[in-house]
Structure 1
Amino acid sequence: MAGHENNRHPSPAEATAVPDSLPPLPPAFEALLHAVIPPPWQAQALASYTTAKDVVFRLNPLRLQDRAAAMQALAALPVQPVPGVSDVFRLPPRARTALTHHSLVADGSLYIQGIASMAAVWALQPQPHEEVLDLAAAPGGKTALMAACMDNRGRIAAVEPVRARFFRLKANLQRLGVRNTQLYLKDGRQVGRLVPQRFDRVLLDAPCSSEAQITRLDPRSWAHWSQRKVRASAQVQAGLLASAADALKPGGVLVYSTCSLSPEENECVLDVLLRHRDDLQPEPAPWPCPLPAVPGLTEWAGQTLHPGLVHARRIIPTEWTDAFFLCRLRKRSPGS
């Protein structure tokens, strides 16, 4: 699903389970891991499914009044800065409850958000003067980070089709001090047709099969996952991606991302678009934080894919990162 900044994490009781007693991952999912994660990363990736993950959070400049005071308020917690990025930190899993109930979270000065979710916004690089589209915006963590990057200037159009998620998005953005965003309760697949070539940048963090939420600590986490779910997600993603491309201005930047590892939801969806449109080209994405990631695939299931997909990145699940995929695309200007 889109908007996975605050995925469910195991309780302390679940986190202390003995790994050998845990149920195995679905065979099809484990086969996927072996197929898309290079051997040097596989042991660490597989181990990440048996323990609770570190908590990652960022300070929110749209609400934060006094950074020094905020850091003092967090002094009792074992906070570690994430290298390469300012005001992003991680904590061990045992500190999750204390952080979740902290006053800085309640007043919006601090937001708990997976580092991969932040990476999608860093790849997009929204600027203060621009008009930006967030095509599947709930619950709003990426929208709020974009607003922070833009210093609450310019304009963000945040689209969400599900009513309950739309109102959660609205409440989150209000709490986080976002003021440059207009919200639309709408199917994102319609947007490109309604406002073609309008936006300087587009973020599509697409609804997906939610493979990043799978954990051996809770068999319920894969209750609804199947290869049929992957295929159904890919159909929705293709429609949203075509809409996102239509809504983008020539010269603009589109970032496509999912919390899925399956190539069918990632490279294969992009490959279909790129083979039907010659005005879009993958390009390297800014990568300020040393995230464990590997290049996108240019071949899958015997099919050769667009060579530019080597610029995509698949983030490896580890003790502090969730599974994630992102690709940055540039729309060519006419005649270029």
Structure 2
Amino acid sequence: MQNQEPPTEFLDKMRGLLGDGFAAFAASFDEPRRVGLRLNTLKTSVADFNSKPVFALSSVGPHEPAAFLLADPAAQPGKHPFHEAGVYYLQEPAAVVVGSVVDPQPGEWVLDLAAAPGGKSTHLAARLGDSGLLVANDIDHSRAQILAQNMERWGSRHALLTNATPSQLADQFGGIFDRVLVDAPCSGEGLFRRMGSFAWSEANVTACAVRQSHILEDAARLLRPGGRLVYATCTFSPEENEGVIAQFLAAHPDFALEPIPPITGAAPGQPAWVNSDLPLDRALRLWPHRFPGEGHFIARLQRQGGGGVDYALFQPRASREARALWADFAANELGDFVYEEERLHEANGRLYLIPPDAPATGSVRLVRYGLLLGELRRNHFRPAHTLALALKPHEHGQTADFAPDDPQLVCYLAGEDIAWAGASGWVLVTVDGFGLGWGKGGNGRLKNHYPRGLRRG
């Protein structure tokens, strides 16, 4: 599709800010956008994936070894079965940098405050590994459902998904998080090349900056002393970037900007654009004429001090019947799946495995209570699609494994039953060992249990 010219008023503003650099910036809108692919290191390693000749890839840089650029613009990674299995996430290359700057460490508690559609949350989950806690939140209910779908495909077991306002989260949790990401709603100037021209005005830029400042106030309440807050936008206007950070720091002397490790192609923040003497050059700007992405601003702040805060624990509850149905399923249909019974939680006819030591959520609306194991039916347990995507190879029971181009796999993804020579019972359908979904074997057939909403036409 032909790229559309951004609004004249926006270009005039950028010309005034960039000076001699404006010509290269404007020319970038005529360049094709780059497609990024980030591996799910919860399921595979860079070395193992590179051993499979799936797509021609090039590295995005040392800041994220698991992220790549697609070398072939005609490639369709979104249609490959590996995408359905959550082996990778298609993410805009500049957005990948945000997760790298957050840099969560194993065991930490991390909050993604405006998480949908889930690209950055999946990145944070992969960085955490099978440890710690990720709370991924979105204020919009429909967007929270999209977030849930992407997180479930990712196979993370240590995540709570919430649908709440930042102030509701701050009131409930207080300062319990080691790292908080504010991927702030913004005027979206970095998306012109991807989305074409759209309504833009200085009034909207100003309104966004006000909203962003309010969100940052709540984010500060959620961060523990010594913790780190990352603020990011996909826009260029200083009012929404350096201006918001300068205003926040003026009101919060207990926060300080941290230097960010060098990112190839990144430019520093511009304190002069908001007439500030603060070290705003410690922030990063990713410009489309300097970095293979659509444009971002990223700042990392640390809250001074140390020590933790007290919090109430989530109290999982599951009936004796629910525990028995699950235990029977796990013993007979799974492999070496180790779990702590006290983490089982029953809600609305479903059974979940709650992350260890999760905080009480009070009146905060939960979209997902950790890992969804399955549904509780009368006298039997039906495993969830989410569980199929989260199981590791040693946890598999009966498995039907296919190559990505196997005609039987094509039939399965279309919702058809396929031939089965194994024993009766639940069967995990996999592609090159990666879980895709469930089938139920019997009488020489594998009855299809792939979700109807995901089936290919």
Q: TM-score, normalised by structure 1?
A: 0.84
In the alignment, is the contact (CA less than 8 A) between 1:197 and 1:246 conserved in 2? yes
| Correspondence 1:149-188 to 2 at 5 A | 149-188=127-166
Counterpart position of 1:68: 48
User: Is 1:137 matched up with 2:108?
Assistant: no
Q: Post-superposition, which runs of at least 4 consecutive aligned residues in structure 1 deviate over 6 A?
A: none
Distance 1:257 1:147 in 2: 18
Q: How far apart are residue 69 of structure 1 and its match?
A: 5.3
Distance 1:151 1:286 in 2: 22
Structure with the greater relative contact order (CA < 8 A, sep ≥ 6): 1 or 2? 1
Q: Which amino acid aligns with 1:114?
A: E
In the alignment, is the contact (CA less than 8 A) between 1:279 and 1:332 conserved in 2? yes
User: Residue 272 of structure 2: which of 291, 299, 308 is its match?
Assistant: 299
Distance 1:293 1:126 in 2: 21
Corresponding residue SS for 2:23: helix
Distance 1:194 1:237 in 2: 21
In the alignment, is the contact (CA less than 8 A) between 2:67 and 2:96 conserved in 1? no
Counterpart position of 1:328: 300
Q: Which amino acid aligns with 1:326?
A: I
Q: How far apart are residue 157 of structure 1 and its match?
A: 1.2
Corresponding residue SS for 1:200: strand
For the aligned residues, what is the CA RMSD?
2.3
Q: How far apart are residue 232 of structure 1 and its match?
A: 1.5
Counterpart position of 1:33: 14
Counterpart position of 1:59: 39
Distance 2:122 2:161 in 1: 12
User: Residue 241 of structure 1: which of 209, 212, 216 is its match?
Assistant: 216
Q: Kindly, what percent of the aligned residue pairs are identical?
A: 32
Q: 1:267 to 1:69 in 2, by over 3 A?
A: closer
Distance 1:57 1:66 in 2: 12
Which runs of 5 or more residues in structure 1 are unaligned?
1-13
Paired residue total? 305
Q: Deviations over 1:112-168 (max 9, x none)?
A: 112221211111111111111111011111111111111131001111010110000
In the alignment, is the contact (CA less than 8 A) between 1:36 and 1:261 conserved in 2? no
| Correspondence 1:209-288 to 2 at 5 A | 209-215=187-193, 221-287=196-262
Mean Cα deviation higher: 124-133 or 160-169 = 124-133
In the alignment, is the contact (CA less than 8 A) between 2:34 and 2:92 conserved in 1? no
| Correspondence 1:1-40 to 2 at 5 A | 14=1, 17=2, 24-37=5-18, 39=20
Q: How far apart are residue 95 of structure 1 and its match?
A: 2.6
Name the structure with the higher strand share: 2
Q: Which amino acid aligns with 1:308?
A: P
Which runs of 5 or more residues in structure 2 are unaligned?
308-457
In the alignment, is the contact (CA less than 8 A) between 1:60 and 1:109 conserved in 2? yes
Larger Rg: 2
Counterpart position of 2:59: 81
Mean Cα deviation higher: 55-64 or 148-157 = 55-64
Q: TM-score, normalised by structure 2?
A: 0.62
Distance 1:23 1:330 in 2: 39
Distance 1:256 1:71 in 2: 36
In the alignment, is the contact (CA less than 8 A) between 1:281 and 1:308 conserved in 2? no
